[in-house]
Amino acid sequence: MIGGVTVIAPLNEEQMEQMLANEFGGMDEIYADAYRMTKEKKYLDAAKRFSHKWLFNSMVVHVDNLDNKHANTQVPKVVGYARIAKVDKDKQYANAADFFWDRVVNHRSLSLGANSRREHFAPADDCKSYVEDREGQESCNMNNMLKLTENLFRMNPSAKYADFYERALYNHILSTQHPEYGGYVYFTPVRPAHYRVYSSPNSAMWCCVGTGMENHGKYGEFIYTHVHDSLFVNLFIASELKWKEKGIVIMQQTNVVDRTCH
Ligand SMILES: [Zn+2]
């Protein structure tokens, strides 16, 4: 972590920008979290230096430049924007993250909540390629979109975030693991009469296998949240909440049938 700060220290802004033109994961998120834990400003500065300006500057002024861009290179950057916004109370970062979320959720996602084909965002007015392409929506993208949604919800607990989370979790994530053999899908194509490719358990380790394992651990994560005394029931999932401080227990039951049992 400290090494990373040292490595970028001699780079000027142009060199940083050149480096960040590649897929670099959630570096800004990691440094924002390091700042939250240590309160050392050098980590916040590093988080901001890892904010790829090509994307950030465009999102700040509400210009969508995502056509044909590699989707899961962009989403982790924006998870970082939301983390910076939270730890630094930075409105510009919050604004950039929220605009990106709106563009992806409301203009670049299919009804199941998922985005991209062939790992890239299609032009916003191009729906045809989703139907034709063998490589549909990537699971990793959703892992990061859910993370982004949770982060935005933490700053502004609006129903629009919970609605998207619910739609994406049930319609995309739930279907990404084979119900009997446990493999994960990379893509969820919407091509008519298409097939799915599942990973081989214990031998495949694609990116979507790693995030795939995390995805199915999310079912219990966002059902309930609270802000002070206000309790939010975000997801209708059979569960029991024991809120010790308030001395209450809330139980949800559903009629969802587990088809694998029959
Ligand atoms: Zn992936």
Looking at every residue in the chain, the average pLDDT score rounds to 94
**In angstroms, what is the span from residue 251 Cα to ligand 1's centroid?**
35
The token duo for 155 is 């700053």
Q: Give residue 258's pLDDT.
A: 60
Q: Give residue 255's pLDDT.
A: 86
Answer yes or no: is pLDDT of 1 > 70: no
**In angstroms, what is the span from residue 139 Cα to ligand 1's centroid?**
6
Q: Give residue 124's pLDDT.
A: 82
Task: Please give all residues whose CB falls under 5 A of ion ligand 1, grouped by chain where several chains appear.
Answer: 140, 207-208
Q: Give residue 2's pLDDT.
A: 60
Average pLDDT of the residues in 47-63: 97
Q: Give residue 257's pLDDT.
A: 63
Q: Give residue 262's pLDDT.
A: 41
Q: Give residue 218's pLDDT.
A: 85
CA distance 98 to 114: 17
Model confidence pLDDT, tens digit, residues 140-151: 999 999 999 999
Nearest CA to 42 out of 57, 53, 56, 32 is that of 32
Beta-bridged to residue 132, according to DSSP, are: none
Model confidence pLDDT, tens digit, residues 170-211: 999 999 999 999 999 999 999 999 999 999 988 999 999 999
Question: What is the chain's alpha carbon radius of gyration, rounded to the nearest angstrom?
Answer: 19
The token duo for 179 is 């119900």
pLDDT band at 261 (very low <50, low <70, confident <90, very high): very low
**In angstroms, what is the span from residue 186 Cα to ligand 1's centroid?**
6
